[in-house]
Structure formats: C-alpha cells, structure tokens
Amino acid sequence: MSDLDVPLRPKRKKVWVDYFVQFRWILVIFIVLPISFSLYFFTYLGDVRSAWKSYKKRQKEHDENVQKVVKRLKQRNPAKDGLICTARKPWIAVGMRNVDYKRARHFEVDLSAFRNILDIDKDRMIAKVEPLVNMGQISRATVPLNLALAVVPELDDLTVGGLINGYGIEGSSHLYGLFSDTVVAYEIVLADGRVVRATKDNEFSDLFYAIPWSQGTIGLLVAAEIKLIHVKEYMKVTYKPFRGTLREIGQAYMDSLAPRDGDQDNPEKVPDFVETMIYTPSEAVVMSGRYASKEEAKKKGSVINQIGWWFKPWFYQHAFTALKKGEFVEYIPTRDYYHRHTRSLYWEGKLILPFADQWWFRLLLGWMMPPKVSLLKATQGEAIRNYYHEMHIIQDMLVPLYKVCDALEWAHREFEVYPVWLCPHRIFKLPVKTMIFPEPGFEFQNRQGDTKYAQMYTDVGLYYAPGPVLRGEAFDGAEAVRRMENWLLENHGFQALYAVSELNEKDFWKMYDAGLYEECRKKYGAVGTFMTVYYKTKKGRKSEKEVREAEQAHLETTYAEMEQPN
C-alpha cells in the first residue's frame, strides 16, 4: 500500500435517515430558503435603521443595554440558579457542534439587542461594534468608505462575538493573524456585574489575552474595538492551476504566500490575500489577491467579474475553470470578494441542494441563497444531527505551515474529503501564553513563512461528505475525528472550537493552554458562574449536576496534572 492508498471498507446498508437526507432539498426549497430570505431582508432593514441613528444615540442605547445585563446578573442567586449563559437559542449558532450545555438548568442573560455598529472612527482606524454584528453588516458599512476590517471571514452570518470567542480566519490572516488578533479592546461584563474595558496595555491586559477562544466563559462580551485598514475598490485575483502530488500542491501553496528567501514582510513579494482550493489529490488552484483601484480595474483589457450577483457561478466552481483554461487574472469588487464563499457555503451548498449550482436554479432562485445555517440546524432532529456527525466532516485543522504537506496526505488517507480549503494565518508570539500558541523556539528555525514575531500556520478546511460515504461504504465519523485530534496533538496543531470535538478533558488541555485562561476565571469570578470552555464545547448532553461536579474535578485534578513537570 502506498502512502496515499486508502483502506478498503465494507459497504454500508442504508437506513431511513439516508433517504431523508437525500431528499432534504424539498424542505430546504419550500421552507428554509423562503424563511431565510425573509430573515435576511428584515435583518438588513434593521441594520439600515440602526445606521440612520447618530453615534450618540447608538452609544446611549448601548449603555442602557449594558446596564440591563448588569441588572440581570445581579438577580442571579448562585445557590439556586444554574450557570450563566446567553438566551440565544441553541440552533441559532453557526457552529456545527451541539449546544447541549443549554439543556442543563441555566441562568439566561439576553444579549439579543447587541447587534449595532457603534462607531467607525476614521482617525483612529477603529470600528467599535457590538457582538452580534455580522460580517455582511460591517462590510456594507465600511467598504463604501474604502475601509475594511483587517480580517473579514467570508460568510455573511458570522458574528463578531463568535469570531472573537471562537475562531475566525480569512485570506488576509497571513498578514494580520486570526480575527481576534485584530481586536484592540474588549468591553466585558464580569460575573459580579463590573463593566471593564480590556486592552493589551491596561490593568485588564490579562483579560484581553484570555478572551479569544474562551467561548464566553470568562465574561460577557458586549462590545469590541477592531482594527480597520484602508482598501481599494477591487481585488485583483490571480488563479494559477496546479497539477501534481499532494506534497507538491502543498509546496506550491506555501510558495504563494511565503518567499523562500524569508522576506515575509515585503509587500512586493507577499499578496494581500491568499487561498488554495484542492479539488482532487492531484489538482488544485492557487489564488492570490491584491487590492486594486477602480482606475486600474477599468483599464482596457481588464476583466471585471461581479461575482456577487445571484446568477453568477459559485466561486469555487468558477476558480476550478483555471484547471481547464489555464492561469488567468480578473478584478472582483472588494465586497463581493470578501463574501465569495457565502452563496454556496463554500461547497456545502452542493450537498444541501444538489442542483443549486445549475444555471437555471441560480437564475430563478439563486437570489434566495444561501439558506441560513441556523435554520438548517433548526429543521433537523436529533437523528439527522447524529447522522451528520457520523457521515459528514466539518473540521478545520490548524497546523504549522511546514507541516501542511503531511496534513494533506493524512487527511486524504483518513477522510478523502474534497475540495480542501487552505488558508494561512499567523500565530503571534505574545507577552503571555494564550489558549493557542506557536511552537517553542519557532523563531530560531528559519522555516518558510515564519518571522521572529509570528509562526505561520495553515487552516486545512475539510467541509464535505467523506469519500467512503459518497461511495456507500462504512465510515465511523466519530473515530475519524478522534484520530484527527490525536494527529493534531502530536503535531502541535489546533482544532477550531465551532466544530464537533471528541477530545476528553485531559487531551483538550493538552491541545490548548489553560494557564492564563484559568487564572482569569479565578481572578474575575467566572468559576461557579460560567461553564468551563471544555464543558461548553463538549459533545453530548450534560446535566447541571454533571457540569458542577466536572468543574470541581477540573479545578482539583486536571490542572494539577498539567502543572507537574514532564
């Protein structure tokens, strides 16, 4: 067996759930899509109404809503009430993991009013926003001003709070890091009702570094100040087809973003945006983008592609054409480019609506795409949800750039999921050790993509049905995810917390660092008030008794083991 050979698996007998999933498109077309479009429309009207308000009016309403949160927290009786969580319904979250912690008795705090852009400060180059502001909303407000967040994750529905407390990446993350790395200040309501502003250099600097990836288990985020950058009207995108082995594809991807001479901070050598899509084990399209002015885009001979129109081919299929016609260059309006994967939900839309990529569907009903992920989750029962956990992969493997070739070969053997999305991101060397952190001593290795102040990582995005499932073979999704997590543990990788995890608590805290996180939970009163991040992301149902007992054991045992010398 060669390194890329996959094991032979027995055929799997179909059950009723298979047929329901196969014809789920009927439910999606007649129920999910119309409701999704209505929700998008009314949300848009609400955003417009908010934008008409003055800064003082929005800030006044924000302060009033913060005080409502403070008042609500002070109503909680720790002896009688459950642990604090938001009142947001479990199915509304965009992430794929079950929000089972809300099945236990809990004390709800309503944050639904926090969905406004509070200010766009052109002088400080800062956007102050509330946690439920989504990427579509903020790009509509900033791009016409030739401004944008430094990192704009592609899907419109992704919220600021989710991207900070969880995980957010974009094609510009090789320059700016993850979404949370672009935040300059957090406004947090602590367990005791105090409202604090945390920055990297004030008295709450420990809180500033502990909030990312904490999943709202230290305090309640009510606002964030995020870095803005100057942008131009268009993105000049170059599509380069590549054929070869997975290792050769991985190296071509590395070369697209990381000069071999180590000149990583030279804007002449490093593009503004990079991503690669691998369509088969031997075919990929390597893409790079640079901001371009309207004058450049409209020069004679330039090709402008307004991919945001509903009838346009889905972006990943459009990029695939480079494998047929060769390398080409085009100009895409900047906001359209930011949200290039929204209509098709990367390529998940093909599984949800098998014919939605056809020209006739795009023309007639494409304006209703995409279905809201939250509604897709709301219309699936537990049997369907479990089916997707077993027969579907939605995972992000975050691996050091120099290990991307190994990761691609491993993922092929285990999952056979294609397309694969590759997107680089920096993990910065910080004054303190946060939940995710670069490899010790990386700055002395002189590896491709690394600098003295940041190690380059790559998101290996796996979003589709595995090859064995598509061939009707037996596949154990939970066991495959366990093997993936073990591989990440062995290779200093991380798993995005929105996804379904099979990690036990001890291994969870081998993957992520608990030091600063636990210090802040103790210091700011989160212990016994908010659930720990492990139990908030843990797969499966949880009772309040289990959570409380587990938290006590977590304090007494897990960290004691971690603090022992190796």
Instruction: Note down pLDDT in tens along the chain; length 566 residues.
Output: 455 666 667 788 877 777 777 888 888 999 999 999 998 998 889 888 888 888 899 999 999 999 999 999 999 988 788 788 876 665 455 555 555 555 555 788 999 999 999 999 999 999 999 999 999 999 999 999 999 999 999 889 899 999 999 899 999 999 999 999 999 999 999 999 999 999 999 999 999 999 999 999 999 999 999 999 999 999 999 999 999 999 999 999 999 999 999 999 999 999 999 999 999 999 999 999 999 999 999 999 999 999 999 999 999 999 999 999 999 999 999 999 999 999 999 999 998 899 999 999 999 999 999 998 878 877 776 777 777 778 889 999 999 999 999 999 999 999 999 999 999 999 999 999 999 999 999 999 999 999 999 999 999 999 999 999 998 888 988 899 999 999 999 999 999 988 888 999 899 999 999 999 999 999 999 998 888 898 888 766 555 556 666 655 555 544 444 455 44
User: With 0-12 CB in 10 A as exposed, 13-18 as middle and 19+ as buried, what is 544?
Assistant: middle
pTM reported for the whole predicted model: 0.91
pLDDT at residue number 561: 46
pLDDT at residue number 565: 46
Pairing mode, strands 420-428 and 393-400: unpaired
User: Strands, DSSP E only, in 63-109?
Assistant: 83-86, 106-109
- Helices (H) and strands (E) in the chain — how many of each? 25, 16
Phi, psi of 190, rounded to the nearest 5 degrees: -80, 170
> What is the C-alpha radius of gyration for the chain, rounded to an integer number of angstroms?
23
* CATH code linked to domain 59-230: 3.30.465.10
pLDDT at residue number 89: 63
Classify residue 551 by its DSSP letter.
H
pLDDT at residue number 539: 66
The residue type at 431: P
* CATH code linked to domain 394-500: 3.30.70
What is the rounded CA–CA span in Å between residue 9 and residue 469?
10
The residue type at 486: N
pLDDT at residue number 536: 82
What is the rounded CA–CA span in Å between residue 364 and residue 536?
41
What is the rounded CA–CA span in Å between residue 70 and residue 193?
5
* Tokens linked to 499: 């996804």
What is the rounded CA–CA span in Å between residue 6 and residue 249?
19
Considering the chain, tell me which residue range(s) the CATH 3.30.70 domain(s) occupy. Answer: 394-500
What is the rounded CA–CA span in Å between residue 537 and residue 249?
33
User: With 0-12 CB in 10 A as exposed, 13-18 as middle and 19+ as buried, what is 381?
Assistant: exposed
pLDDT at residue number 566: 45
User: With 0-12 CB in 10 A as exposed, 13-18 as middle and 19+ as buried, what is 266?
Assistant: exposed
Considering the chain, tell me which residue range(s) the CATH 3.30.465.10 domain(s) occupy. Answer: 59-230
Q: 382 in helix, strand or coil? A: helix
* Tokens linked to 408: 């691609």
User: Strands, DSSP E only, in 231-327?
Assistant: 234-243, 273-280, 283-292
Q: How many CA atoms lie within 13 A of 15 on its CB side?
A: 7
If we measure between CA atoms, which residue out of 406, 353, 172, 152 comes closest to residue 275?
172
Q: How far apart are the first and last CA of the chain?
A: 37
- Other C-beta atoms closer than 10 Å to the C-beta of 194 total 13
Query: E strand or H helix at 148, and its extent?
Result: strand 147-149
The angle that helices 33-52 and 135-142 make with each other, rounded to 10 degrees, is 40
- Cross-strand partners of 238: 288, 329
What is the rounded CA–CA span in Å between residue 72 and residue 359?
51
139 contact partners, CB below 8 Å, separation of at least 6: 148, 149, 152, 335, 338, 339
pLDDT at residue number 6: 65
Q: 104-120: b or e for each residue (b if 16 or more CB lie within 10 Å)?
A: bebbebebebbbbbbbb
